[in-house]
Amino acid sequence: MSSPIRAGLFGALGMTFVGGSVAVSGALADAPLHTAQALRYAVACVLLLAWVRLTGRPLRRPRGAEWLWLIGVTASGLVLFNVALVHGSQHAEPAVLAVAVACVPIALATFGPLLEGHRPHTRILFAALVVSVGAVVVEGLGRADAIGLAWAIVVFVCEAGFTLLAVPVLAAHGPAGVSVHTTWLAAAMFGVLALTTEGWRAAVDFDAGEVLAIGYLAVGVTAIAFILWYTCVRGLGTGRAGLLTGVAPVAAAVIGIPLTGDIPGVAVWCGVGLIGCGLAMGLGDNAERELVGQISAKTRN
């Protein structure tokens, strides 16, 4: 199996885990947010460290400006993103926040290549637009007040920052290093928030369902999905990898069928079809050859 294909499969699988989180997030609706997230990232970090140790992968301490990039990934993509989802849901329907996330492929296709040292690729930009439109159709539209729309913008910026801010340190630290450092930083940040706003007793108040939800978020959506996603970004480039975020709403819709017993309507399947077209357009052989040619020309110049 070629490296691009493997990277694409890793990205799709990672986004499947993310899509599955929609089904379990409801279990934490009444749980103390900061404490739950602190536990989530602490458990994920321990698992990632064990995996690094078992596989013998290098793990080095960040230096200089690398700290700023990693803190940026953590503060935006992990901490503020989760806080924005909670506060945004008080002023906007879930679909509004989901639409904000659905627009991320366009941001990654636009700004990711610039961080990687080459111009955005027209075909991938158009494919990102198609994927985003398809994701919006799958998620549907919702209502929100002005505050809800503001939080939706924060969600969009933070979700894009999770990938974009990691690009400058991926080469030096690899997917494992970026994942380990961002998870322990997130555990520390949420730990401080938890102690100051919820108290240490909140950690012993979770019921069985909430513990299982935290476990899924820690193992599937964090420890495994982070490694898969950053491996995909490094292998495909930010723009092409960003197209695979469209897999998350599809996974959420499919996983919801056995859980709710409801079959998605025609609009949802149309959206899935658009996402598939966008993925084929941006990840096909022609797109890969054109992107390689563009990067080669950049190198020669």
- pTM (two decimals): 0.87
- pLDDT tier at 95, thresholds 50, 70, 90: confident
pLDDT in tens, 150-167: 998 999 999 999 999 999
Which pLDDT score is estimated for 135? 87
- pLDDT tier at 23, thresholds 50, 70, 90: low
Using DSSP, state whether 165 is helix, strand or coil.
Answer: coil
pLDDT in tens, 176-215: 999 999 999 999 999 999 999 999 888 888 999 999 999 9
Residue by residue, what is the 3-state secondary structure of 255-278? HHHHHHCCCCCHHHHHHHHHHHHH
CB within 8 A of 136, min separation 6: which ones?
99, 102, 103, 271
- Which residue in the block uniquely carries the two structure tokens 């008080």? 90
- Helix, strand, coil percentages (3-state) for the chain, rounded to 5, are 85, 0, 15
pLDDT in tens, 102-140: 889 999 999 999 988 888 889 999 999 999 998 888 877
Which pLDDT score is estimated for 291? 47
- pLDDT tier at 294, thresholds 50, 70, 90: very low
Q: Is the pLDDT of residue 289 over 60?
A: no
Which pLDDT score is estimated for 1? 56
Q: Is the pLDDT of residue 78 over 80?
A: yes
Which pLDDT score is estimated for 42? 97
Rounded CA separation 26/216 (Å): 13
pLDDT in tens, 232-278: 999 999 999 999 988 888 887 787 777 667 777 888 888 889 889 98
Q: Is the pLDDT of residue 65 over 90?
A: yes
Tell me which H or E stretch contains 297: helix 285-300
- pLDDT tier at 297, thresholds 50, 70, 90: very low
